[in-house]
Amino acid sequence: MGNEAMARGAIEAGVSVATGYPGTPAAEIIDTLGRVAKDVGMYVEWSVNEKVAFEIALAASYSRVRAISAMKHVGANVAHDSVATAAYMGARGGLLLISCDDPGSWSSQNEQDNRIFAMHAYLPVIEPSSPQEAKDAVAYALDLSERLGHPVMLRSVVFLSHATGDVVLGPVRGDVNKEPVWERNVDVAVFDARGARINRSRLLERWERIREAMNEVPFNDLEIVDASVNGRRLGVIAAGLAYSYVVDALRWLDLEDKVSLLKLSTTYPLPARLVGRLLGSVDDVLVVEELEPFIEMQTKALAYEIGASAGIHGKKYLPVARELNPRKVYSALAAFAEVGGRGFSREDALMENVIPRRPPVFCPGCPHRMSFYALRKITRSKKPIYSGDIGCYGLGYLPPFEVIDTIIAMGAGMGLANGFSLLFPDRTTIAVVGDSTFFHASIPALVNAIHHNRKMIAVILDNDVTAMTGDQPHPGTARDAMGNPAKRVMIEEVAEGAGARYVEVVDPTDIRRSEQAFRKAVATDGVSVIVLRRPCELIRVREKLRAGEKLEPYQIDLERCTACKICYDLFSCPAIMRLDDGKAMIDTDLCTGCGDCARICPFNAVVPLRELEGRVGA
Amino acid sequence: MSDDVLDVVIAGVGGQGTITGAAVLGRAGVIAGYKVRGIDNRGLAQRGGAVMSHVRIGRDVNSAMVMDGEADVLLGFEPSEALRRAYFIKQGGWILLNTKPIPPITVTIGRESYPDIDGIIRTFKDDAGARVLAFDASELANEAGNPITLNTVMLGAFSALDTLLRPGHLEAAIRESFRRKLQDVNLVAFQLGREKALELLRSRSG
């Protein structure tokens, strides 16, 4: 996988410190390193959030050892405050920020293009085109960072991070410094007005050397051909992953040897000499890049500067929104070169078929299902405003629960609740926040609500891990990224310490107690914090199977089932099916044996399969 | 788009083992000495959402994604999900379909309806111009001894097709991909899928 390849690159480059906060599509980089940390002599950390993660890497770089910090594109926003000044400070040990962007918003709230983020923060950007190059680029970028004394960004995208492919491994570097060195130097590390001004000038000087260095990066490749298509000499600039689509599409269109091609990996700042040479050799250029016309704009500016007259095209042929794919690139190249190519009417017709939507659902046995079931039951009459947050529980906005009203950004659930409780004091405002999200960015908003005496309820769904991205630990987990024991920070103690009026910890399986807690919270004047604590079912199941135990599924006793629909319409476990007569049936392959449906069934019709079989046998 | 590349799309539901199936297929490609590219949309894989993997095997493949209308084979782990991705299959390509439906929540709670399986197969044949082998692969996985072997049942059926990969490449990939404890059950599942597909192929030509 692309992310595993990047992890390998960090190992080969002799990285000492690797940090991050889990987010798709970046999570597997730190996951992979965490598993091998002890073997390769690396410190690996899932930090409380991206800002702290980056700051740890920055401290490592300042102390002359190599560091990477890996995060998803929107995660980098959280780190931005420190990243924006890191380029002023420069790097001592190689410092690499890996940003995994999500064109298409497959698992994100937006599809921001972090190359623009890098431009704002003065970070040179390298975009690999394949898993192999992703590995090689991580190692190269760390060398480059150290050589230039400047942090570097490696920008991946979801379909590179999650791409698989054969990768040839390289040797692990043995000549990299791994001993941190402390050298106080307030000139480069203290950003008062004086420091900011001194380092701003140094940054701009360094930037000239960086511009120059971009021309030498080996992942760029320019091939000029002396040929024309329909009377025009054509060129293509293919950036990062888009290069893989371009190479295939040129072959399919039989344009391989007829179009000049710049494979571009250093997308900021542009390698001016390479781009200039291409512009001087063709009549028209098509820039193939995902998301914003970032290279297109830079190329147009460069063309103006050097007086090149080639036509420069990009988003005229390719969409700004969503990810690129072979078809979009193939069609754009065919239109650009005016060569026809195949049509897609048969495929478009097939896309018109009516297929039921398949929204993701809470897994069988997921504790969130019980939490939302109880929450909806108790609060429905109050018509509360639910501000949700990012995590599995965000699925609570979908059928059947449909109780989450907003999902904006990590920590925004608690922040928006501050606003809603101010604007609608007579309604109940409920922030629904996960455990990892609570630590990540919700604590300041909770403190703000308590300080301003808002009347609101914060429901913290604590399943012990960052479940959405693959069970990574957070400050409330008793282990760290490397599997070492870690101190658990208790959410209820944070809430009590901050002065919340009413704090309660409940197991959501205990539906009577959670209903009581919600009732009490609704009646409380001030901030209530209810922690619904029960580990992620995937972990329970995995541990059980690993211990050689069997899951004990439940089944419906059809004699007792009255076809009331509660278990599939309102509770909606994916293991529960509806029979033609309206009664329920459990798919015992999917059932984890959590027993939650047995607790909510008003007719006691859900019983352990074994018991039912025993009865039939008797 | 050329004879020396094998393009496969796998469509299913999170939890069905599509990603592992794709990984085994890719490994078989490496064992056979080809370059391999693949992609999984994994974000919500574990939460019962629609999932899809692409695997491209050949002497010279670059894109990890299969182009619309260019897949040689579509492995449909679930009927409605296969229909959702039918636009990838090329004219005359093979669709191997597990006929056991997993109704999505929108159907269970009565908001949308599930398409008729025979209608899906007709769409594959008439509108997509594909060749179809349809059978209850979930049943075969149970018969093999474990429902999670659905992916190797499907790969077994795939091995009956004439592609760049030989059955031996796939069996070797299965041995490399699973812990010893799970190898045997997966190899049994592979055989069951293979025999079923061979039987269906014989009845097609007969």
- ipTM for the predicted complex comes to 0.95
How far does the CA of residue A360 sit from the closest CA of chain B (Å)? 4
Q: Strand (E) positions, A250-377?
A: 259-264, 266-268, 284-288, 311-313
* pLDDT at residue B41 tops 90: no
| Dist. CA B51–CA B16, nearest whole Å | 9
- Among the residues of A172-293, which ranges form H helices? 186-189, 193-214, 242-252, 272-281
**What six digits make up the tokens of A108?**
């994100």
Element (H, E) at A412: helix A412-423
Q: How many Cβ atoms are within 10 Å of B3's Cβ, its own excluded? A: 8
In chain B, what residues touch A590 (CB-CB under 8 Å)? 15
Task: Write the residue in B26, B43, B109 that is nearest to A399 by C-beta.
Answer: B109
**What six digits make up the tokens of A451?**
């300080």
Q: Strand (E) positions, A444-569?
A: 456-462, 502-506, 527-533, 554-556
For residue B42, the model assigns a pLDDT of: 64
Q: For residue A524, which amino acid is it?
A: T
Domains (ranges, CATH) in chain A? 2-214 (3.40.50.970), 221-350 (3.40.50.920), 367-541 (3.40.50.970), 550-617 (3.30.70.20)
Phi, psi of B133 (to 5 degrees): -115, 110
Whether B38 has its CB under 8 Å from any CB of chain A: the answer is: yes
For residue A400, the model assigns a pLDDT of: 83
In chain A, what residues touch B66 (CB-CB under 8 Å)? 326
For residue A376, the model assigns a pLDDT of: 86
* pLDDT at residue B1 tops 60: no
Q: What is the mean pLDDT of each run of 10 residues along chain A (618 residues)?
A: 97 98 96 97 98 98 98 98 97 98 94 98 98 97 98 97 94 95 94 95 97 97 97 98 98 97 98 98 98 98 98 98 97 97 96 92 93 86 92 89 94 98 95 98 98 97 94 97 98 98 96 93 96 95 92 96 94 90 92 95 96 75
- Among the residues of B32-166, which ranges form H helices? 79-84, 105-108, 117-122, 137-144, 150-158
| DSSP letters spanning A442-471 | IHHHHHHHHHTT--EEEEEEE-SSBTTTTS
DSSP A592: -
For residue A67, the model assigns a pLDDT of: 98
Pairing of strands A554-556, A95-101: unpaired
Whether B23 sits inside 8 A of A395 (CB atoms) is: no
**Residue A515, CA distances (Å) to A90, A370, A375, A553, A571 in order:** 54, 11, 7, 26, 16
Q: Are A469 and A27 in contact (CB under 8 A)?
A: yes
For residue A119, the model assigns a pLDDT of: 98
Domain segments of chain B: what residues? Answer: 5-205
In chain B, what residues touch A363 (CB-CB under 8 Å)? 15, 46-48
Tell me the longest C-alpha to C-alpha distance in chain B. Answer: 49
For residue A614, the model assigns a pLDDT of: 83
Residue owning tokens 């659905």 = B150
| Dist. CA B15–CA B109, nearest whole Å | 21
Q: Topology of domain B5-205, per CATH?
A: Pyruvate-ferredoxin Oxidoreductase; domain 3 (3.40.920)
How far does the CA of residue A590 sit from the closest CA of chain B (Å)? 9
Residue of B63, B146, B181 to mutate when probing chain A, most A C-beta within 10 A: B63
Q: How many Cβ atoms are within 10 Å of B169's Cβ, its own excluded? A: 22
Whether A401 has its CB under 8 Å from any CB of chain B: the answer is: no
Side-chain-side CA neighbours of residue A174 (13 Å): 1
Whether A168 has its CB under 8 Å from any CB of chain B: the answer is: no
Whether A341 has its CB under 8 Å from any CB of chain B: the answer is: no
Residue of A327, A358, A541 to mutate when probing chain B, most B C-beta within 10 A: A358
Residue of A248, A251, A330 to mutate when probing chain B, most B C-beta within 10 A: A248
Whether B37 sits inside 8 A of A589 (CB atoms) is: no
Q: For residue A161, which amino acid is it?
A: S
What is the pLDDT confidence band of residue B106, given thresholds at 50, 70 and 90?
Answer: confident
Nearest to B5 by CA among B90, B96, B85: B90
Whether B123 has its CB under 8 Å from any CB of chain A: the answer is: yes
| Dist. CA A530–CA A520, nearest whole Å | 10
Side-chain-side CA neighbours of residue A478 (13 Å): 2
Contacts of A372 (CB under 8 A, 6+ apart): A362, A393, A396, A401, A403
First to last CA, chain A: 53
